[in-house]
A and B are shown apart, each in its own frame.
Chain A
Amino acid sequence: MTSARIPALISELRRESRDGLVYMEVCGTHTMAISRAGLRQLLPAGIKLVSGPGCPVCVTSTADLDRVVALARRPEVTLTTFGDLVRVPASRTTLAAERAAGVDVRVVYSPLDAVNLAQAEPEREVVFAGIGFETTAPVVAAAVLEARARGVANFSVLSLHKTMPLPLRALLDLGETPISGFILPGHVSVVTGTACYEFLASEYAVGGVIAGFEPDDVLEALVMLVRQTAPAIEIGYRRAVRAEGNVVAQRLMATVFAPSDADWRGLGVIPGSGLALANQYRESAAEERFTIEIEEPVEPKGCACGEVLRGVLDPADCALFGSRCTPADPVGPCMVSSEGSCAARHRYRDVDGVV
């Protein structure tokens, strides 16, 4: 913890900030870090922090969740995924409920574990449900290559991966929320570099700073944003992010995946914002191997996760927040995921209410 810098950064912010500043963070890890440290309590009144579509589980559409469940229910399939997806409500069930009813769902901590599992249990069809942005996609790409190199034919991927910059364009095009600047995702940017965000400044006149995850990293990014005299994309997280990104990871993604349309909760289908397995890797695509049929998706009643993910509605202003929707008994994905903005705000609320 590098909290020694914090008082100086706070007074810097107090001195330089003005009223009506709205900064959006688009990374679940930032969402949690900000709430966990209680940073909103330290900020000057003129600065408002909102969360955008940065939680991978949360932005996954109900229809896509239903497809994961449909795959898991196939008797020959062992569905593997990260833990966060297991409790998220699909239309009529959750993977956790399916698992309790005997469906073969296993939590893995790396897609490579799923490849190992497929190798160890050759009679099973091991499907990895891949969610996440440019941070996780290269690891999944590596797993696809590894399975192929080892000749593990019973491993496939349902790719629900998405890429970060396009939803930001979609948000700005909607124009629902005035956004003064973006706190850009640290982990994603380690891979992507900065060029993919330049359009924010050049086309929309909105600046952004790539931030690290300690409280002082976030505050430093805010100071940099407040000080911008002209919109620009800057790197605050210099110890990890380079302007060109991680070229090896980019190449890995470009080899195994190809851009596809993706269905975002709250934003709908954004052309080219997803990652599907590229033509020469189609045999590793679960949707090629299995027919996936789902019923008409049912959205959770009264759930405002879509508005929350667009930064239009503050989690605390959702009618269900803390009453019908809690981490123990969640209605929507933003209250379930460990990176969800509703979960962050509920878990780290002040004793006397929400901050």
Chain B
Amino acid sequence: MTAADRILLGHGSGGKLYRDLVRDVFVAAFANPVLDRLDDAASLATSGRIALTTDSHVVQPWRFAGGDIGLLAVAGTVNDLATAAARPLALAAAFIIEEGFFMDDLRAICASMARTAAEAGVAIVTGDTKVVERGAADGIFITTTGVGEIVVDHELGAQSVRDDDAVILSGSIGDHAMAVLAARDEFHFTTTVESDCAPLWGLAEAAIAAARDTAPAAAARDTAPASAAALRFLRDPTRGGLTTVLAELAESAALGVEIEERAIPVSAAVRSICDLLGYEPLSLANEGKMVFVVAPEKADAVVAALRAHPLGRHAARIGAITAAHPGRVALRTVLGTRRVLDMPVGELLPRIC
């Protein structure tokens, strides 16, 4: 092992080492005409409304079954844009790297980011790197910022949700949290669970298309009639899980939510780890799932469209919006009893995203 294999403080200095790092690692991985110019700011052409979002990623360990911090950093921001029905246009990436981090690990992370960006159809067009002394950060932290073009004309969000709307979940929950937990090895268990981490724009686009009155999925991208208003709300259930998304929705919409425990997909492996360690699957983080609220008459079409997508095979209608108990989420258990779903309190699992 030589010094050349590791990130040095000098790589953050702005001098030659920094230039080499940018050229040999970042530009090599993310190659695109805008980034290649190495300007301080990227210029982009857009029309219409844009969405802007940013997210920092500090997951420990940086590699886990089913993903790594690079995949997470790109997918997380693409998914946040998707919640605004925004097709990703461009990403910026800022790295904070601890002195001594392996160069090969950084290359692997960048390759993962590049792969995920390509999958999501978006380019990483600008970025920044800082190197801090050993101990001042834990390995690598990545902040990604994304700009997207909103493809619907109507307002999305809790305020658009109506009584009797359908609540749809794109697949099984808890996989990401349990995969990272296993990778941390604090509980000394092994599992076949893999993180669900994935960029979801394609999946969201399929749901947006299905919620429109007429347009077939393929044409949806370029024609955005106002009738897409059947789609009310999208949110990715990351930290705090499904529970937090639904509790926030109920509170913001001043409506109730009724959920069927039986309808919520949870893998047998996640369920048994939860039973063992006392976790509630509904409150666990996901990085490749989306919650949709749609007008009831469009629910079947949206579920069918999600199931036709590789990332939505286990999509299900899990409940409905109700005017009863505004501000609260009720769970109908498999036994037919009913209880409230509260937002989880305090630290559940540290640094899982």
Residues on A lying within 8 angstroms of B by beta carbon are: 1, 3, 6, 32, 35-39, 41-42, 87, 109-110, 113, 215, 327-328, 338, 346-352, 355
Known: A109-B186, A338-B278, A352-B325. A347 touches B342 (CB 8 A): yes
Main secondary structure of the interface of B (DSSP, over half): loop
- What residues of chain A lie closer than 8 Å to B324, measured between beta carbons? 351
- Given pairs A110-B188, A350-B338, A351-B338, 5 additional interface contacts (CB within 8 A): A109-B186, A348-B340, A350-B330, A350-B339, A351-B324
B209-244 contact mask (Cβ, 8 Å, vs A): 1 or 0: 000000000000000000000000000000000000
Complex: how many Å from CA A1 to CA B264?
14
Q: How far is the CB of A146 from chain B (nearest CB, A)?
A: 15
For chain B, the count of residues having a C-beta within 8 Å of the partner chain is 21
Q: How far is the CB of B337 from chain A (nearest CB, A)?
A: 3
Q: Within 8 Å of chain A (Cβ to Cβ): is B171? A: no
Q: Is the CB of A41 within 8 A of B342?
A: no
* A37: contacting residue among B187, B328, B333, B342, CB under 8 A: B333
Q: Is the CB of B339 within 8 A of A348?
A: yes
Q: Is the CB of B338 within 8 A of A1?
A: no
Interface residues of B in 70-122 (CB under 8 A from A): none
- Closest-by-CB residue of B relative to A354 is B340
- What residues of chain B lie closer than 8 Å to A346, measured between beta carbons? 342
Interface residues of B in 339-353 (CB under 8 A from A): 339-340, 342, 345-346
Complex: how many Å from CA A113 to CA B330?
39
- Closest-by-CB residue of B relative to A219 is B335
- What residues of chain B lie closer than 8 Å to A328, measured between beta carbons? 345-346
Q: Is the CB of B256 within 8 A of A38?
A: no
Complex: how many Å from CA A101 to CA B206?
49
- What residues of chain A lie closer than 8 Å to B256, measured between beta carbons? 351
- What residues of chain A lie closer than 8 Å to B346, measured between beta carbons? 87, 328
Q: Is the CB of A6 within 8 A of B335?
A: yes
* A38: contacting residue among B328, B337, B342, CB under 8 A: B337
- Closest-by-CB residue of B relative to A96 is B346
Complex: how many Å from CA A325 to CA B336?
29
Q: How far is the CB of B274 from chain A (nearest CB, A)?
A: 12
10 intermolecular pairs with C-beta atoms under 8 Å apart: A3-B335, A37-B333, A38-B333, A38-B335, A38-B337, A38-B338, A109-B186, A328-B345, A348-B339, A351-B324
* B337: contacting residue among A32, A37, A352, CB under 8 A: A37
Q: Within 8 Å of chain A (Cβ to Cβ): is B3? A: no
- What residues of chain A lie closer than 8 Å to B329, measured between beta carbons? 351
Q: Within 8 Å of chain A (Cβ to Cβ): is B334? A: yes
- Closest-by-CB residue of A relative to B250 is A351
Complex: how many Å from CA A177 to CA B332?
32
- Closest-by-CB residue of B relative to A41 is B337
* B334: contacting residue among A3, A35, A39, A338, CB under 8 A: A3
Known: A338-B278, A351-B328. A327 touches B339 (CB 8 A): no
Complex: how many Å from CA A348 to CA B332?
11
* B339: contacting residue among A3, A38, A109, A215, CB under 8 A: A38
- Closest-by-CB residue of A relative to B279 is A338
Known: A348-B340, A351-B256. A37 touches B335 (CB 8 A): yes
Q: Is the CB of B278 within 8 A of A41?
A: no
Interface residues of B in 299-353 (CB under 8 A from A): 324-325, 328-330, 333-340, 342, 345-346
Q: Is the CB of B337 within 8 A of A351?
A: no
Q: Is the CB of B338 within 8 A of A41?
A: yes
* B330: contacting residue among A35, A41, A347, A351, CB under 8 A: A351
Complex: how many Å from CA A351 to CA B340?
5
